[in-house]
Structure 1
Amino acid sequence: MTDDAYLFLVDDPAETLGVPPAEVGPPACMETPAVRAWLDAQGVSALSPRLRLVSPEETEAIEEGAERLPVPLGEEELSRLRHRTAPQALAAVEGELLAYRDCAHGRDELLARALAAGVAPHRIAELTGEDLRAVRAAATR
């Protein structure tokens, strides 16, 4: 396994391995000189239906001899790629986890702000569903 994701070309656009880069953002690497030069050398555009992106753990599935290029992805880009290529049942649960992460982001700061504003700890616990101990602990952070 490699640490890089890979751009690669498929012969048949119906191929299911990987995803078109536009479906994950598109990733920032698509604007690098190396990727643009590789696309030019292959005679394809960034929107080609033959162009795919695969995560590091899936690179071994790329067909032997396929044109490929290692590309670095940011953490968020890699997360979107993995989410997009997960089986549908897993993707649904992953979507819920991402929503949870997004709404839980800044949780401790919000709890501390509420305490500082004078909202009673038991009321914060009631409103948020957080454990009262977690609410009180936020005051010491």
Structure 2
Amino acid sequence: MTDDAYLFLLDDPAVSLGVPPAAVGELACMETPAVRAWLDAQGSTPTAPELRLLPPEETGAVPEGAERLPLPLSDEELSRVRRRLVPESPAGLEEELLAFRDCADGRDGLIGRALAAGVPPHRIVELTGVDPATVTAAAGG
């Protein structure tokens, strides 16, 4: 087993092997001259759908003959890669959806109170991230 993660290219981007680097977030190594040169040589980009990443303990799964590049990742970066490899549970997603519902409950009332207090609509859009049409609808409701 190697201590390095591997960046590699799949023939078929629909294969669910590894993690797309873009899904992991910022990786310091992706901007290094070595990685840039490797990507250029492969005719690829950091966001290409066929570009994948596996942690050291999973590098045996890299397909035979696949173009690959060893990457030294920090402990925090490796942790993010490993978390993305674990499928998200439906129960966890349902909990997030319930929390979102609870958070969004009463949104229109809050927007209406803010408008009544004199907060300009453009500022409500900036603060909440809601669509301007939502602010307009809340003003009428």
For the superposition of Structure 1 and Structure 2, which TM-score range results when normalised by the shorter chain? Answer: 0.5 to 0.7
Residue 88 of structure 1 corresponds to which residue in structure 2? 88
Whole-Å separation in 2 of the counterparts to 1:7 and 1:32: 13
Give the aligned partner of residue 132 of structure 1. Answer: none
Per the normalisation by structure 2, the TM-score is 0.61
Q: Distance between the aligned counterparts of 1:73 and 1:20, measured in 2? A: 15
Specify the code of the residue in structure 2 equivalent to 1:48.
Answer: A
Q: What does the per-residue CA deviation read over 1:3-36, in whole Å, with 9 as the maximum and x for residues that have no partner?
A: 0000000011111111110111131100000000
SS in 2 for 1:88: coil
- Structure 1: which amino acid aligns with 2:73? L
Sequence identity (%): 70
Equivalent residue runs for 1:37-52 within 5 Å:
37-52=37-52
Cα displacement string for residues 52-90 of structure 1 (whole angstroms, at most 9, x for unaligned residues): 01111110001111000000111111001000001334x
Structure 1: distance between partners of 2:70 and 2:88: 26
What pairs with 1:1-141 in structure 2 (closer than 5 Å)? 1-89=1-89
Question: Stretches of 4+ moved more than 2 A in 1?
Answer: none
1:95-127: CA deviations, max 9, x gaps? xxxxxxxxxxxxxxxxxxxxxxxxxxxxxxxxx
Separation in 2, partners of 1:72, 1:81: 12
- Alpha-carbon separation, structure 1, partners of 2:9 and 2:76: 23
Matched position secondary structure for 2:6: strand
Q: Distance in 2 between matches of 1:26 and 1:67?
A: 22
Unaligned runs of 5+ in 2: 93-141
Return the alpha-carbon distance in structure 2 between the equivalents of residues 70 and 29 of structure 1: 10
Equivalent pairs counted in the alignment come to 90
Match of 1:37, SS?
helix
RMSD across aligned positions (CA): 1.1
Q: Which whole-Å CA distance do the structure 1 matches of 2:43 and 2:87 have between them?
A: 32
- C-alpha distance in structure 2 between counterparts of 1:26 and 1:42, whole Å: 21
